[in-house]
Structure 1
Amino acid sequence: MKSSKKFIRTPLAAIAISLLSAPICAAEPFVVKDIRVEGLQRVEPGTVFTYLPVRVGETFTDDKGSDAIRALYNTGFFKHVKVESENNVLIINVEERPAISQIEFTGLKEFDKDGLKKSLKAAGVADGRYYDKSIIDKAEQELKRQYVSRGFYGAEIKTTITPVDRNRVAILFNVEEGDVSKIKLININGAETFKESTLLDEMQLSQGNWLSWYTKNNLYSKQKLVADLESIRSFYLSQGYLEFTIESTQVSISPDKTGMYLNINIKEGKQYKVSSVKLAGELLGKEEELNKLIQVKPGEIYSSTKLAASTAAIADKLGAYGYAFASTTPSTDLKKDTQLVDLTLTIEPGKRTYVRKINVLGNTKTRDDVIRREIRQLESSWYDSEKLKLSKDRVNRTGYFTDVDIGNEDVPNTTDQVDVNLKVTEKPTGSLSLGAGFSSTDKLILSAGITQDNIFGSGTSLGLNVNTGKTNRTLALSNYDPYFTEDGISRFTEVYTRSSKPLYYAGDTEYQIKSTGGSFKLGVPYSEVDRVFFGIGIETLSMTTSINTPIAYQSYIGQYGTSTLNIPLTVGWARDARDSALVPSRGTYQQANLEVGTAIGDLEYYRAYYQHQYFLPLFKGNVLSFNGEIGYGATYNGKEFPVTKNYYVGGIGSVRGYEPGTLGPRSVPNYYGVTTPLGGASKLIGNVEYTFPIPGSGVDKTLRLFGFFDAGNVYEKTPTFSDLRTSYGFGLSWISPLGPLKFSYGIPLSKKPEDRLQRFQFQIGTAF
């Protein structure tokens, strides 16, 4: 005789059993002789047994039946679960959920299909997973969120579920993106002292401009709005409005969901001046030293910007003495009747702190020792904020990283130790430098170089430079090792071959100058920013002449011959105090070099060169840069200065708007009336450049505009300020994967009839 008892048939019953202690349908307990699972298609029986709260040989009860249904249903594998018994055999009857066979989209324009699939997978929807209506609802919300993040507030998502064979379903998301919702209007109500346009400039969000396609600043974001409100608050506080408040903000959207409207209601309050400033707290006997760091002075308008700079300077100064967690808390006492404020800075230095260890993070290619050799903070020594700042600058000046950040981390169970985390963001180690220009009278002039900086993460570089210009052609191979020795002595080696022809005699195959040589240079550091150089080189030069050879070169042959050997010695000095080698925004860079042709060779001359660069940060990413260069050459044996050692000025890297190397003295006209630029024994160059972020892009350093003024020339003897060629212009600077890239358009000012112009130029890899 068969007996069968059905305990629970549906998930609804399972929920009921969980709510009511008594079973819906009572059954006599029995000892389970066997367990049979029916209805499985893809799920393994072992998976079901894993979740069952009963085993063969155990007593089965109503409570265990309820637990079994709950456990199996919660796995998400099954749509229906039924538990029965037959002759003490427990029968688990299940109906599996359909599996997702594929996911497709229609109507996609803004997003890539693969990118959306990754987002859905994180939400639990992917090929091969089980279909669940609730999860699909979440997937629709995720897709909607993705569109809202890009300003598509009107996007509609409709899902179509199509059953296919083997208990599977295909999911199709039909997307109607609609138009992007853009900010149409931003109103700032209550502004009396400042123009609304001034306050809008403090915000990231805007009503849109010609660059909004790149900055996306006309797309509403709650996070950006919160940051913008804080920026407006900081602006007023920096102007002394200590009672400034933001009373309310309203964000509305047009009925068609394409326009966003922002209303910001503010109350300015009154402007306050500082009546007194004093220090309080534990001053460690350094009150006089700390007072000098306070930028907020009595009688001045209160400025939160100056106050923040003062507290940061005090923290840095105390950090230099080992107090890593020093804090300065400002407090204000407002005198509303006189609009004056008393300012008190309370200093809490905390305990003097040791650095337990320094962690280098983010370097996937660069070896740890390449970074650590630039770090001046020592482990197991006093914390020193000045040494950490110097370490950050030195790592930045290597040019291997786009970003360097230093932070502190508490050591558990200690009060006087920290770990320092130095995190770097690596840039591509290979770089390509290019230079080119166009003019109305000449074709493309192209120079190129391939440099592998930080090769194999070792900190050394290997470079190949090629120039394909009509006048000069170059093939040079160089290697630079900044740590040739453990003490930081650098080594630079180069081998090259160069040929030079007259610029305007393309068909003259006889007249040319060829040189082949190499150089070896060592750099010895004697401070954190200073280094002296010593080098030696060897160069052979041969010259062939023709009827077109300028008199200056014929004179050179008359004194030195058609073939010469040169053994130059060099001594130099460089000081690099910039904050970054890639995108400098503050600091200076200087170099001086003296090259002497020795009597061992055929040329006895000297050339002296000096360069000075200065970078001045202004506000919000604006940088004013200056560059000055002067070079002078002469002989010490009474002969004329070798024309092959002349300086050349004009074009990329010197005076923009003129063709490269064409300024200065020229040869007498030849038979065809053509003159050739000869360069000069001395040169003078000056550049001024103002760099600023593209309007609407915040303080983005990767894409910037600049204006410039250039002046310079070469001279036969002593450089003077007379007869300078000048130009001005504008351009675009982009920190590309290839390196700093600049497009410039130069407009010559003091041009002469013989000058050859080149208005558009571009370059990669140089600061000026």
Structure 2
Amino acid sequence: MSISFSINLFSQEENKSSKSIIGEITVSGNTSFSPITIITYSGLREGDEISIPGEKISSAIKKLWESNLFSSVEVFRVKQLDNIVDLEIKLIDLPELTKLEISGVKKRKHEDIIKENKLQIGVKVTENLITTTKNYLENKYKKKGFLNTKVNILTEEIIDSTNKSKVKISLDINKGSKIKIKKIVFDGIDNLSSKSLQKSMKNTKKSKIYRFWKRSKYIEDDFKEDLVSLVDKYKENGFRDARIISDTIVTYDENSITLKIKLQEGEKYTFGKINYLGNSVYTDEQLDQILKVKEGDTYNGVELEKRIADDSDPDSDDLSNLYQNSGYLFSSVTPVEVSADGNVIDLEIRINEGKPAYFNKVSVVGNDKTNDHVIYREIRTRPGQLYSKSNVIRTIRELGQLGFFDAQLISPDFKNVNPNDGTVDLEYTVVERGSSQIELQGGYGGGGFIGTLGLSFNNFAVKDLFNKEAYNPVPMGDGQKLSLRLQASRFYTQNSFSFTEPWLGGKKPVQFSVQLSQTKQFLFNPVTYKADKSKSFNISGISVGLAKRLTVPDDYFTLAQYIGFQYYNLNDYNTGLFTFGNGSSNNLSYTVSLSRNNT
């Protein structure tokens, strides 16, 4: 079946436009929509004054066409008496998808194909839908290494008693074999070896017998990325003018290709004199320690960029961060090549320091559940404080580590930036995410049914336990952690409860935690396959801990101390698991640990 689309513009006998009054409007053609619906949607009304041809007729055709419901839209003048004109709107509905058959891929992939291409039953089938589906699927599998993917889409008209225009789509995907890279050939290289260039291509590798754990298929996006890496490899070795002349794919056989890459290396350069302009806060010697480039060094454009401003690492030790972490929000560092005579590049590092910046107002938006004080106590940027990029970044990380917000969506927004006064407002935007878990499961194991109930609340609010209005479904927002877990079978029961307050007293980051546990187990009788309840052991325990964030050597260190007590009670439980089978025993423990976490 073929689907055609056409617009028949309003025809006329006269060469000049004339004013007419719409008389009767009728609807014809093959459409399931009522005439009233069509006429209303078109915007044409009986008694309206129109020009022939004119804007109203064109607008009506455009609206009907852009509804994406019709394959043909035509408007005719069927009768005219004096200045009264009767119009006919002739339409043909777009066919609906009534059946879809997919072949060439596994059945479990069908649902994804339907969702990704909007091929649900009942959708209007257009040439655009068919074309975009074909292109999408071919590109999708080509990106996965199936370069010879062919998608064939056939439509077949379905006739039933409803008289609606319907079609069946047969979608066949022929992925073919994955195309592997047999060879990578470089042309125009004299200074770097083919081996070193291939090593710099992290994603595009040629196939080798022994490389069965690494892919060697051709992925276009990965290859384009590796071409950039090739140029960077040259820049790292002094060839700042190196470039790719061409890249060509040559078919080696039906399952493999050869990649031919033609390069122009250019001349090799070294660093010459390096002068700093505009620096008053730091001396040339201090800046040299960060730049780490000396006269006579092989020119390395990639490393130079990182030493000026490494966009890939917000914590990098570069010149821009040196100023940004010292309050100079408005600073800029720009390297300028002032000479390249004799392949020796002289540089000027032009620095615009600007005024030191101070935070004027610091705020948080987006916290619908978490109370403000829980967030503000983690923020390391305070009103009146000197700006520091590192403090902004650390705040973002530590807010993400709370587990209450989507770490990827936390963003700092600078507002009311005033370089003249040296002030800036900072607004952190957060997006709440679910911080509670409920575990309810059952299963068969160890000779019987095991049931488990677990509740975990990572943003609990103990102070609102007796506030009915705070239950939604439980009191939340104070950053406390509370968990309860119960597990039981016919052989044992195991219960635990824990509570953590990360800021004991609310003034300093001193974490208080308490944990209670109780385990009771009966001896298994191998004769009856039942639990012998006259023989058992019972362990009850409690643990209390304090963990304090230190300031020396730095505030990434935490000192934690825990005191634990366990009570053992055994009743004729002689299995060798314990050193005794009857009676009771106590165990008191003290644990101290020192840790550092700067991630």
Normalising by structure 1, report the TM-score: 0.56
Which residue of structure 1 aligns with residue 265 of structure 2?
A: 268
Indicate which of 14, 21, 26 corresponds to 2:9: 14
Counterpart Cα distance in 1 of 2:216 and 2:453 = 37
Counterpart Cα distance in 2 of 1:530 and 1:42 = 73
Q: Does structure 2 retain, via aligned residues, the 8 Å contact 1:484–1:490? A: yes
Structure 1, gaps ≥5 residues long: 1-9, 433-447, 467-472, 501-508, 580-768
Counterpart Cα distance in 1 of 2:391 and 2:346 = 34
Counterpart Cα distance in 2 of 1:547 and 1:77 = 80
> 1:518, CA displacement in angstroms?
0.9
Q: Secondary structure at the match of 1:454?
A: strand
Deviations 1:80-107 (A, max 9, x none): 4242236646242423223313351332
Residue 538 of structure 1 pairs with residue 565 of structure 2: yes
Deviations 1:44-103 (A, max 9, x none): 434433454643223444214853673365334342424223664624242322331335
Q: Does structure 2 retain, via aligned residues, the 8 Å contact 1:182–1:220? A: no
Write the letter of the residue equivalent to 1:96.
I
Q: Secondary structure at the match of 1:520?
A: strand
Which residue of structure 1 aligns with residue 98 of structure 2?
A: 102
Counterpart Cα distance in 2 of 1:452 and 1:353 = 43
Counterpart Cα distance in 2 of 1:129 and 1:474 = 54
Residue 389 of structure 1 pairs with residue 387 of structure 2: no
Counterpart Cα distance in 1 of 2:133 and 2:271 = 56
Counterpart Cα distance in 2 of 1:358 and 1:214 = 50
Instruction: Pick closer, same or farther for the CA change 1:407–1:266 going to 2, 3 Å.
Output: farther
Q: Secondary structure at the match of 1:376?
A: coil
Deviations 1:386-409 (A, max 9, x none): 212332453465578896587655
Write the letter of the residue equivalent to 1:35.
I
Q: Does structure 1 retain, via aligned residues, the 8 Å contact 2:415–2:426? A: yes
Which residue of structure 1 aligns with residue 596 of structure 2?
A: 576
Indicate which of 79, 85, 88 corresponds to 1:85: 79
Counterpart Cα distance in 2 of 1:177 and 1:346 = 55
Which residue of structure 2 aligns with residue 297 of structure 1?
A: 294
Which residue of structure 1 aligns with residue 510 of structure 2?
A: 489
Counterpart Cα distance in 2 of 1:26 and 1:392 = 69
Counterpart Cα distance in 2 of 1:311 and 1:13 = 63
Q: Does structure 1 retain, via aligned residues, the 8 Å contact 2:26–2:88? A: yes
Which residue of structure 1 aligns with residue 62 of structure 2?
A: 71
* Most deviating of 158-167 and 376-385: 376-385
> 1:220, CA displacement in angstroms?
1.9
> 1:325, CA displacement in angstroms?
4.5
Counterpart Cα distance in 2 of 1:322 and 1:67 = 62
Write the letter of the residue equivalent to 1:102.
T
Which residue of structure 1 aligns with residue 137 of structure 2?
A: 143
Which residues of 2 match residues 18-417 of structure 1 at below 5 A? Answer: 23=13, 30-39=20-29, 41-50=31-40, 52=42, 54-64=44-54, 67=58, 70-71=61-62, 74-75=65-66, 76-78=68-70, 79-83=72-76, 84-85=78-79, 88=84, 90-109=86-105, 112-121=109-118, 127-164=121-158, 165=160, 166-170=163-167, 171-203=169-201, 204-208=203-207, 218-221=217-220, 223-253=221-251, 256=254, 258-284=255-281, 287=284, 289-312=286-309, 313-332=318-337, 337=342, 340-350=344-354, 352-353=356-357, 357=362, 373-378=377-382, 381-395=385-399, 409=413, 411=415, 417=424
Report the count of equivalent residues: 525
Deviations 1:672-725 (A, max 9, x none): xxxxxxxxxxxxxxxxxxxxxxxxxxxxxxxxxxxxxxxxxxxxxxxxxxxxxx
Write the letter of the residue equivalent to 1:294.
L
* Most deviating of 260-269 and 398-407: 398-407
Q: Does structure 2 retain, via aligned residues, the 8 Å contact 1:163–1:169? A: yes
> 1:530, CA displacement in angstroms?
3.2
Deviations 1:455-505 (A, max 9, x none): 678452637699xxxxxx9975544332344232211112235799xxxxx
Deviations 1:139-175 (A, max 9, x none): 3333333333333332223332222232222222233
Instruction: Pick closer, same or farther for the CA change 1:61–1:364 going to 2, 3 Å.
Output: same
Counterpart Cα distance in 2 of 1:30 and 1:241 = 75
Q: Does structure 2 retain, via aligned residues, the 8 Å contact 1:11–1:73? A: no
Write the letter of the residue equivalent to 1:538.
F
Counterpart Cα distance in 1 of 2:142 and 2:385 = 51
Counterpart Cα distance in 2 of 1:298 and 1:48 = 79
> 1:534, CA displacement in angstroms?
4.9
Instruction: Pick closer, same or farther for the CA change 1:320–1:202 going to 2, 3 Å.
Output: same
Which residues of 2 match residues 379-528 of structure 1 at below 5 A? Answer: 381-395=385-399, 409=413, 411=415, 417=424, 419=426, 452=456, 454=458, 458=479, 460=481, 462=483, 477-487=497-507, 488-497=509-518, 515-527=539-551, 528=555
Counterpart Cα distance in 1 of 2:250 and 2:425 = 48
Q: Does structure 2 retain, via aligned residues, the 8 Å contact 1:14–1:69? A: no
Q: Does structure 1 retain, via aligned residues, the 8 Å contact 2:270–2:296? A: yes
Deviations 1:573-623 (A, max 9, x none): 5332331xxxxxxxxxxxxxxxxxxxxxxxxxxxxxxxxxxxxxxxxxxxx
Counterpart Cα distance in 1 of 2:36 and 2:211 = 58
Counterpart Cα distance in 2 of 1:396 and 1:215 = 34
Q: Does structure 1 retain, via aligned residues, the 8 Å contact 2:563–2:591? A: no
Write the letter of the residue equivalent to 1:218.
K
Instruction: Pick closer, same or farther for the CA change 1:135–1:306 going to 2, 3 Å.
Output: closer
Q: Does structure 1 retain, via aligned residues, the 8 Å contact 2:499–2:514? A: yes
Counterpart Cα distance in 1 of 2:238 and 2:427 = 37
* Most deviating of 409-418 and 231-240: 409-418
> 1:187, CA displacement in angstroms?
2.2
Counterpart Cα distance in 2 of 1:546 and 1:479 = 32
Deviations 1:177-210 (A, max 9, x none): 3223333332233444443233223222223579
Q: Secondary structure at the match of 1:180?
A: coil
Q: Does structure 1 retain, via aligned residues, the 8 Å contact 2:149–2:173? A: yes
Counterpart Cα distance in 2 of 1:264 and 1:430 = 54
Q: Does structure 2 retain, via aligned residues, the 8 Å contact 1:480–1:492? A: yes
> 1:521, CA displacement in angstroms?
1.7
Structure 2, gaps ≥5 residues long: 310-317, 440-451, 461-475, 488-492, 522-531
* Most deviating of 169-178 and 269-278: 269-278
**What percent of counterpart residues are identical?**
17
Counterpart Cα distance in 2 of 1:364 and 1:154 = 51
Instruction: Pick closer, same or farther for the CA change 1:430–1:82 going to 2, 3 Å.
Output: closer
Counterpart Cα distance in 2 of 1:340 and 1:236 = 16
Q: Secondary structure at the match of 2:244?
A: strand
